[in-house]
A and B are shown apart, each in its own frame.
Chain A
Amino acid sequence: MKHTKRKNIKLYHKKILRRIKRSNKIKRQIRIQRSQRPHYKIIENKNSRDRDRRKFKNISSTLVPPINFSLIENTEEVIQFINAVDKVKTKRHKKIFKFELLDVVNIEICALSLLLTKINELSSLKKHYFCTMPRNIICRKIIEDSGFLDQMRKVGSNQKHYRNNDNLMVTRGFDKTDNRATGLMVKKSVEYLTLEKGQSYRPLYSIIQEICSNSIEHGNNNVKEKNWLMAVNFKTDEIEFTLTDIGEGIIKTIKKKGLDTVKHSTGLMSSEEVLLKSFEKQYNSRTLDINRNKGLPKIYDVASKNYIENLIVITNNVLMDFSDLEKTRELKINFNGTFYFWKLTKSCIEKWRTRTIF
């Protein structure tokens, strides 16, 4: 007689079965609770939660930004926070970074862009990072709408964050410019403001290319630390642009190289004057080739003709406001790199199109 293999069927007692059901129910509830937590992490961070708690403490750092996380309003404190990230990121044993945004009550695109640049750097250094969301509903909404969470997942459920708008577009790079992305971004901006499809706005394309090229060429030699990030925020009737270049900063580059033209004068001049003169093409480029240094004067030219509005440049220890030079000031804290912020409106485009050409 042939014996057929019987399936291994487990028979449970009623009570045990009830206990299993109960424990499954609890597990499910825990899963749901975790998925509803407002914590986010980067995709690469998948396995960090499995790590040993003690080990986690040694290798992790918690970074708390200022409550007023606005680069324009609270410049010094935001830069101090960014410098703190810079300092801690170089520590080899620190592998995980937690950005504690819980208590932030004010946040804007400029500070978010700077933070994204640092996250970009951490990513290139293969460090893991996650952040908590602000309690403040307005700040939380700004972060959610901004696209800051586009590459993140919720810690508990591993769910991706989806936003209902494309208010903010971010392009980033290390040692190369991204011409195609810049071209598309410019066309999208023109379409957003004027409803004209496929039209470019050449001054905007030029200054983005100038800044990215400067970032790549005049940044330090370490590719991992050459880093630029462009964020474009589409508002109701204007578009905000930020471009962050993590290099040495304009003033530091001029002073460090001891260029002949500035050698004798920088000691007598304030940092604000040195920066303004570099935009006015009064100094030669770091390479000392006579054909160089056309980038910053081009940016200055576009801003002074109002083809872009509200240009603000933060580099080293200077905040320069090109729309009102009286607002330019020396900062108490040094920022390693150069940060640009400007706005684009429909009137800027019209001004450029109707300009008089000599």
Chain B
Amino acid sequence: MENKNNILNVVNHIVDPGPRYTKQGDDSGEFFYHSILNEEFYNAISNNQKLIVNLDGPNGYASSFLDESFGNLVYDFGYDTVSKNIEFKSEEEPEWITMLKNETFLEWEKRRLTENEPKKTSSHPEWWRKTSDGNFEKKIWINP
């Protein structure tokens, strides 16, 4: 049977994950979200597929990297859409999956509901967001 899921191996894009924001260092969570994760997630859900994120491979993570990248995903697509369409894989450090599911997702959903916009420290090309009417729109939503 054909595998209907998209697999995103973080290590193919980033070996040494950095801090939270782009201005704080290279390969940040903000950079990862805007350059890779947003588009990959949109492609997966628009093809009715799940996105499987493999966290194994990089040298390690700072909590802020994961929080910013996957938190932004929840902010733009909403908790329900993200939790239904994303799966994590990690044999090296599954602790991060617990943190993402139990803390990051819930906290960023609260931020989304209270419209506490995430901070952008550099300009990014247009990115996808699920609008209140359930459609997806691509534009620059927040300026640095």
Enumerate chain A interface residues (CB-CB to B < 8 A): 175-180, 182-183, 186-187, 200-206, 209-210, 212-213, 216-217, 289-292, 294-295, 298, 357
Question: How far, in Å, is A225 (CB) from chain B's closest CB?
Answer: 16
Measured in the bound complex, the distance between the Cα atoms of B93 and A201 in whole Å is: 11
Contact across chains for B64 and A295 when beta carbons are under 8 A apart: yes
* A204-B93 Cα distance, complex, nearest whole Å: 13
* B59 interface neighbour in A186, A289, A291, A298, Cβ under 8 Å: A186
When A and B form their complex, what is the total count of cross-chain residue pairs whose Cβ atoms lie within 8 Å? 96
| Nearest CB in chain B to that of A295: its residue | B63
Residues of A with C-beta under 8 A to B111: 289-291
Q: List, in ascending order, chain A residues with CB within 8 A of B59's CB.
A: 182-183, 186-187, 200, 202, 205
Main SS at interface, chain B: loop
B16 touches A182 (CB 8 A): yes
Q: How many Å from the CB of A243 to the closest CB on chain B?
A: 13
Interface size on B, residues (CB 8 A): 34
CA gap between A296 and B81 in the complex, in Å: 30
Question: Nearest-CB distance from B29 to chain A (Å)?
Answer: 10
Contact of B60 among A205, A290, A294 (CB under 8 A): A205
Indicate if the CB atoms of B16 and A206 lie closer than 8 Å.
no
Residue of B62, B71, B93, B104 with most chain A CB atoms under a 10 A cut-off:
B62
Distance in angstroms between the alpha carbons of A64 and B92 in the assembled complex: 48
B93–A177 CB distance below 8 A: no
Q: Chain B residue with minimal CB distance to A179? A: B16
Which of B19, B110, B116 is A177 in contact with, Cβ under 8 Å?
B19
Interfacial chain A residues near B23, Cβ < 8 Å = 175
Within 8 A of A (CB), among B97-116: 99, 103-104, 107-108, 110-111, 116
